[in-house]
Amino acid sequence: MFDAPAPGLIIRSLAVASAFTVLSSCADAPAPKPATAPLPQASQPASKPVATSPQATPSVAMPAVSFDAWRDGFRREALAQGIEPALFDRAFAGITPDASVIAADRSQPEFTRPVWEYLEGAISPYRVRKGQALMTQNAATLSAIEQRFGVDREPLVAIWGMESSFGQFMGDKSVIRSLATLAYEGRRPAFAHAQLLAALQILQHGDIQPGNMLGSWAGAMGQTQFIPTTYNSHAVDFDGDGRRDIWNSTADALASAAHYLQASGWRKGQPAAVQVQLPPGFDYAHADADIRKPVSQWQAMGVRLDPQGSGLSGESASLLLPAGHRGPAFLVLDNFRAILKYNNSSSYALAVSLLGQRFDGGGQILGNWPKDERPLSRSERVELQESLAAAGYDPGAADGIIGANTRKAIRGYQQRLGWPADGYPTQNLLKKLRAGR
């Protein structure tokens, strides 16, 4: 469950995060846990996963210390943590750094899909039909999971579809090799170091053999794409065979995801997101993840809910404008925040919510997306942040990520201009900033 799905996510976990934090100018792309499972064509499932790493692997400079020296140091630490020497040596037999993993780790796409295109792929007719069929096929298992963990089956199956296209695309890289590469050379060696030690603990527990521990380049594993630390804390042996097998056991994979959502505060029977209509003259500055109000208070402000929102008046919700004030609006509740802990992307959480609703015939989006608005590229987002700072606002680091600080800075500048203060980065906003520099 980890630009895939973070129970590592689910790298849900590359890190569990503050609500709605990586709303990029376009789709608030899910973080690199796995990437969301590639989407088969509507006519027939794809026969193999779409490649996620560059086709031509560029040469990558290695650290000054040799990999062998790093591995030997890590071995001493792992043995001190209780890993058996024979197990370590078997897991690391023939392991060398994977240059394609380093290239994927360093990759920063210049362009990302706008949220409407992301949702269109995530909630494809094929994925809806496949999910509905699997809900019927696994009805008894899902009922037992609901009873034990109190997590609704629809969003659970939606996560399964988003993470691995229902187990079809789980990644084919050695988790040990990927994490060893990232711990040795990656951008976040401490994180990868902890995940690698956790992966060895999984092997020592006997749930999987080293050669079968496969996953994404980032180390996310199985049908629900857990990173190793999340696996150790939340994986479940639900089929009773004595092993927690999220690769080959659908029951174990779904129950493990349910266990994670339960721990993240899931509330059974409550929607994650409800589409709403905003009144004329609405103050869009209220569309902030940190602003939470009872649904009844939103209604008193003129916000109108669709029928799915009946009975939610006392629940706490935030207003999400995934494409700014020109696009659809949603009230998002506690379960939305639980999904964010699985993968800290508001677009991902919205897709899971809507896909789950589609399984029951709902989830249709009313209103239009601003498809005439070209999303900012990464370099343009960096320029926007630099320009906001030059204008006296504080967007935080100029890293191209439109997080809470950048949205706050955008709102301040929009208010100065007399524009709707929705915190959404646009080409017009960038042009205005350029003209003022």
* HEC sequence for the chain: CCCCCCCCCCCCCCCCCCCCCCCCCCCCCCCCCCCCCCCCCCCCCCCCCCCCCCCCCCCCCCCCCCHHHHHHHHHHHHHHCCCCHHHHHHHCCCCCCCHHHHHHHHCCCCCCCCHHHHHHHHCCHHHHHHHHHHHHHCHHHHHHHHHHHCCCHHHHHHHHHHHHCCCCCCCCEEHHHHHHHHHHHCCCHHHHHHHHHHHHHHHHHCCCCHHHCEECCCCCECCCCECHHHHHHHCCCCCCCCCCCCCCCHHHHHHHHHHHHHHCCCCCCCCCEEEEECCCCCCHHHCCCCCCEEHHHHHHCCCEECHHHCCCCCCEEEEECECECCCCEEEECHHHHHHHHHCCCHHHHHHHHHHHHHCCCCCCCCCCCCCCCCCCCHHHHHHHHHHHHHCCCCCCCCCCCCCHHHHHHHHHHHHHHCCCCCCCCCHHHHHHHHHHC
The pair of structure tokens assigned to 129 is 């039909």
Q: Residue 337 and residue 270: Cα distance in Å, rounded?
A: 12
Q: Residue 27 and residue 116: Cα distance in Å, rounded?
A: 8
Query: Tokens 């700014």 correspond to what residue?
Result: 324
Q: Residue 149 and residue 375: Cα distance in Å, rounded?
A: 40
Q: Which of 215, 176, 170, 172 is nearest to 195 (CA)?
A: 176
Determine which one of 110, 146, 163, 386 is catalytic.
163
Q: How many CB atoms lie within 10 A of CB 301?
A: 14
CA angle centred on 184, ends 180 and 189, rounded to 5°: 95
Q: Which of 112, 108, 115, 218 is nearest to 163 (CA)?
A: 218
185 is catalytic: no
Q: Which residues are catalytic?
A: 163
